[in-house]
Amino acid sequence: MFYDITLYVCLAISGIGLLYKIFTWLHRGIGMKAANITTSTRIIAAIKGILRTVFSAQILTLIKVFILDVLFQARILKEDFLRWLMHMFIFWGFMLLLLMHAMDGIITQPLFPEYASTLNPFMFLRDLFGFLVIIGIGIAVYRRFILKVPRLKTNAIDHYAIIILAVIMLSGIFLEGLKITSYSRYQEMVDEYGGIDDEKELEALETLWVAEFEVASPRIRKTFDEEILEMGRDLHQMSCASCHSRPKWAFTGFAVAKIFKPFALALDRANIRVFLWHIHFLACFLGLAYLPFSKMFHIFATPVSLLANSVMNRETSDPANIATKQVMELDACTHCCTCSLRCSVAVALNKIDNVNILPSEKMVFLKAYAADKNLDDNALKAIQEGIYLCTNCDRCTVVCPSGINLRDLWLDVREDFIQKGYPVLMTLSPFSFFRGLNKRDLDSEYYRQPLDQAQMAVAEKCELINKPDKVVPLTPMNTEFKEKVGLSSQADTYTYCFSCENCTTVCPVVENFENPQESLDLLPHQIMRSVGLGLTDLALGSKMLWNCLTCYQCQEHCPQGVKVTDILYELKNLAVKEIRVA
């Protein structure tokens, strides 16, 4: 009764959770594009898209991907053999247990009328599957906590997944072990199926079960009479054999039985067996109920992601479906951190303390953000930096075992964050190259906004840039500033500048403007002089600085050996630092 009620309650929670999750895929949005698409549009687009794909030649692609990537998990194998082994063990072990053991009444029984969980091959297979899962969990623990795979971050959802699986498996194995030795269980079974009244016969059967089936009996001890055993064997053949194979075939439970044999009677009297049975099914039901809200939900979402991404692309798919897919992909992420391991810029984490640089942690952030869009200042600044510090090298997308199209996700989500709140100075660097290449794909109205905002933020801090007429006292100079320019061994070469203007003459940027000073504020030689004079504002605030190509023409042509381009680089660094401090 208790069992049935909890089962149905948990099933209901799980089912409602699943529906809720699918609703969030269709309702929530991340990225600027998704904001303008209504849920109803997305539902219709999704149905149309699915039908159109299923009834077309693309169904072959889906079948191929389902076999290769979902069932065989080739994308994990390509990355890391040990991880593939781990996941195959857990996946296949768990799935087969679910089908053969947990759902035996619905599946195994109808298929095999002679089925009994304690009869081979089922008894052996149940233990084998469980054993596979245990090995898989062992590898997972080893990778995360002993091997410490680089950049593999472990958080609460990962702990939960490992723990719930471990509890289900271990409770099952211990339950089996205690059941093998349990005298009370033995007696229940004899009462129910034995139909034996004769005391001698009862003793004979019990002797056999103590001798060959590991039952721990309070009255029958180690020495066995062959005649009694023979009688027991006949009775066993009559009443038990059709449902019971020898317990050694249940090798994991058998091992437990062997180990705990000395305490078996005490454990049986304390009713530990029933306790474990409760733990086992409650853990299963908890896992079931919580499934849509835990990492385990990837059992559904990841295959969907793999399948969807095999037939969808940015150019031809309905933007409404892309929006839906991108929310779904957040659930498909298993936080396996392969993306972070392969990330081209992850090394930045050694210098810049911001986990949002790692793609896997951006996914963690986005998951939370999709549900609750309120961000505090620090979180916003961190994600702005993390999301822009990316060279769009595509490695994350190429290696993701869940097939998530991280490239498109970053492109869409990045816009959302850089348009918000704080100036992102990194937009004034080659990190923007990819954004420039994809300009046509972005909202032209807002395209310049982050760039202008960053440029403004620098200029605002530099009063002199905005007041060209202001009279500047020659003393005191900002000597502190002059000391700062010199981070690299070459930067203090600015002192050699005698304003020959060669740098400005050869600069292709200066040459591009009819009135360069108006467009660029200061010309390269003027910047060099500003540094020499300690005029911080002029040195840091001019547009010239951020329009420098770093083509090194100026530096190459300086007769005085001033490292002009390197100094411009350093000034940009200083400006960024000042803004960050502010």
Q: Which residues, 463 to 492, sit near other proteins by CB under 8 A?
A: 487-489
Angstrom distance (rounded) from CA 378 to CA 401 = 31
Q: Taking CB under 8 A as the rule, does residue 512 contact other proteins?
A: yes
Of the two residues 179 and 414, which places its CB atom closer to other proteins in the complex?
Answer: 414
Angstrom distance (rounded) from CA 343 to CA 212 = 58
Of the two residues 25 and 388, which places its CB atom closer to other proteins in the complex?
Answer: 388
Angstrom distance (rounded) from CA 566 to CA 116 = 78
Close Cβ partners of 64 (under 8 Å, ≥ 6 residues apart): 310
Tokens (6 digits) for 509: 């940027």
Question: Which residue of 342, 367, 461, 484 would you call a contact of other proteins, by CB under 8 A?
Answer: 342
Question: Which residue of 219, 221, 222, 351 would you call a contact of other proteins, by CB under 8 A?
Answer: 351
Q: Taking CB under 8 A as the rule, does residue 348 contact other proteins?
A: yes
CB 428 within 8 A of CB 546: yes
Helix 319-332 × helix 39-54 angle, to 10°: 90
Residue in the structure block whose two tokens are 């590991």 = 214
Query: How far is Cα of residue 411 from the mean position of the Cα atoms in its chain?
Result: 19
Question: Which residue of 58, 154, 354, 429 would you call a contact of other proteins, by CB under 8 A?
Answer: 429
Q: Taking CB under 8 A as the rule, does residue 63 contact other proteins?
A: no
Q: Taking CB under 8 A as the rule, does residue 446 contact other proteins?
A: no
Q: Taking CB under 8 A as the rule, does residue 82 contact other proteins?
A: no
Which three-class secondary structure state does DSSP give residue 374? coil
Q: Taking CB under 8 A as the rule, does residue 572 contact other proteins?
A: yes
Query: By CB under 8 A, which span of 9-17, 374-382, 465-473, 547-555 interacts with other proteins?
Result: 547-555
Q: Measured from the CB of residue 489, what is the shortest distance to other proteins in angstroms? A: 5
Question: Which residue of 165, 555, 562, 567 would you call a contact of other proteins, by CB under 8 A?
Answer: 555
Angstrom distance (rounded) from CA 141 to CA 482 = 53
Q: Which residues, 159 to 198, sit near other proteins by CB under 8 A?
A: none
Q: Taking CB under 8 A as the rule, does residue 559 contact other proteins?
A: no
Of the two residues 221 and 351, which places its CB atom closer to other proteins in the complex?
Answer: 351
Angstrom distance (rounded) from CA 506 to CA 455 = 24
Question: Which residue of 35, 299, 437, 456 would you call a contact of other proteins, by CB under 8 A?
Answer: 437
Burial 538-570, CB ≥16 within 10 A → b, else e: bbbbbbbbbbbeeeebbbeebebebbbbbbbbb
Question: Which residue of 18, 202, 451, 533 would you call a contact of other proteins, by CB under 8 A?
Answer: 451
Of the two residues 303 and 359, which places its CB atom closer to other proteins in the complex?
Answer: 359
Of the two residues 216 and 413, which places its CB atom closer to other proteins in the complex?
Answer: 413
Angstrom distance (rounded) from CA 582 to CA 573 = 14
Any idea what DSSP says for residue 102?
I
Q: Taking CB under 8 A as the rule, does residue 347 contact other proteins?
A: yes
> Which amino acid, residue 124?
F
Query: By CB under 8 A, which span of 2-10, 58-66, 265-273, 559-567 interacts with other proteins?
Result: 559-567
Burial of 353 (0-12, 13-18, 19+ CB in 10 A): exposed
Binding site for other proteins (CB under 8 A): 150, 342-348, 350-352, 389, 391-395, 398, 407, 425-437, 439-440, 451, 487-489, 508-509, 512, 546-547, 549-553, 555-556, 563, 565-566, 569-570, 572-573, 576
